[in-house]
Amino acid sequence: MLQDIAPHIYHNQMSWKEPEADDFVLCYRGRTLYCKVEDGSLVLPRVKDVEPSALQYAFSIDERADYLLSDAELKEANGFSYFDTGKLRTLVPGPALMAAAAGESLYRWYSGQRFCGRCGKPMEKSRIERAMVCPACGNTVYPKICPAVIVAIHDGDRLVLTKYKDRPVKHYALVAGFNEIGESIEETVHREVLEETGLRVRNLRFYKSQPWVFTDTLLFGFFAELDGSDKITVQEDELSEAGWFYRSEIPEDRTHLSLTGEMMELIHGDVPNIVCIQPFGCLPNHIVGKGVIKEIRREYPTANIVAIDYDPGASEVNQLNRIKLMLSTAQKNLKKAEKKDA
């Protein structure tokens, strides 16, 4: 996904570090970014390349810092020019792309907080935290993150896919929507599914989250079972279509940026073999782990899951034997599937 930049590490702690010549510059102008693209990968200018006057520290990736330079008029030179940020998600994932997406989110926030929403006076950047402060009335504003859900609704070997209406991105997606005030994330899942498709779901299972900085959103991914009728009623003011797709019909996500794509790929790929690595081997971990594994096996009879302890007291021989047993089971299941298809 977009934020998966390991072994690199993203550090978003606020700092007043002075820029160095080899640090990177994130210069935005409206919906464009000053950069260049080489072989599908994003290349950002360095401080020494542009020599800007006023830089705002944004974040660091490893020991390298990224700085914001808002609304500057930099000249096209050495292959650098202003690039449509709407096309960023078509580029090769990596630290530069993550920096560009996160930087645009910060740029939008700083640009939208120039004047106090309470008294109308000019705002100033806080010197102690990432915030904008009004010196006249003391109003303090922090970056806003919008929680939203992504829901993979499944019924046996089928999955619900949708297409949004009147949006530039036309590919298939999962049911999604924003959390409302006073609503839990689980309640958001049920409401959005019902609103967009007319379906009801049960047995919600949280998968993982993703900071989707393109829209200042924190996504919560869920798998959910169909509960009742499978008749879809499309929310026509938001969706252009919605329907059931069999596993073999699910389109491949070629960008590998989004949580939606990753969840669709898991279902499409029919991933049955899982190694669950359990640190420290504590009793609560075993109890919860066994309960979760039991539920997964009940829901997916072909799931082949093995739990491996890797705390200092675990035997290496035991670890290897458990992995070998899982591989043996995987091979047997594969042979059964091949005979069934023959």
pLDDT at residue 280 in the model: 47
- Is it the case that residue 307 has pLDDT exceeding 80? no
- Is it the case that residue 113 has pLDDT exceeding 80? yes
Instruction: Tell me, rounded to whole angstroms, the distance of Cα 137 from its chain centroid.
Output: 37
pLDDT at residue 328 in the model: 86
Q: Greater confidence, 129 or 259?
A: 129
Are the C-beta atoms of residues 210 and 248 closer than 8 Å to each other?
no
Give buried/exposed letters for 21-33 (b at 16+ CB in 10 A, else e): eebbbbbbeeebb
User: Three-state SS across the chain?
Assistant: CCCCCCCCCEECCCCCCCCCCCCEEEEEECCEEEEEEECCEEECCEHHHHCCCCCEEEEEECCEEEEEEECCCCCCECCEEEEEHHHHHHCCCCHHHHHHHHHHHHHHHHHCCCECCCCCCECEECCCCCCEECCCCCCEECCCCEEEEEEEEEECCEEEEEEECCCCCCCCECEEEECCCCCCHHHHHHHHHHHHHCCCEEEEEEEEEEEEHHHCEEEEEEEEEECCCCCCCCCCCCEEEEEEEEHHHCCCCCCCCCHHHHHHHHHHHCCCEEEEEECCCCHHHHHHHHHHHHHHHHHCCCCEEEEEECCCCCCHHHHHHHHHHHHHHHHHHHHHHHHHHC
Q: Record the pTM.
A: 0.69
Q: How confident is the model at residue 132 (pLDDT cuts 50, 70, 90)?
A: very high
- Is it the case that residue 326 has pLDDT exceeding 90? no
Q: Greater confidence, 45 or 254?
A: 45
What percent of the chain stands above pLDDT 90?
A: 39
pLDDT at residue 41 in the model: 92
CA 86, CA 18: separation in Å to the nearest integer?
30
pLDDT at residue 55 in the model: 86
pLDDT at residue 32 in the model: 92
pLDDT at residue 251 in the model: 74
Q: Greater confidence, 157 or 39?
A: 39
What percent of the chain stands above pLDDT 70?
A: 81
- Is it the case that residue 341 has pLDDT exceeding 90? no
Catalogue all structural domains in the chain, each as residue range(s) with its CATH number.
Answer: 10-111 (3.90.79), 114-144 (no CATH), 146-269 (3.90.79.10), 273-341 (no CATH)
- Is it the case that residue 33 has pLDDT exceeding 60? yes
pLDDT digit string, tens, across residues 135-177: 999 999 999 889 999 999 999 888 999 988 877 666 788 999 9
pLDDT at residue 52 in the model: 65
Q: Greater confidence, 139 or 322?
A: 139
Residues 121-134 have a mean pLDDT of 93
- Is it the case that residue 255 has pLDDT exceeding 60? no
Q: How confident is the model at residue 320 (pLDDT cuts 50, 70, 90)?
A: confident
Q: Greater confidence, 110 or 321?
A: 110
Average predicted confidence (pLDDT) for the chain: 83
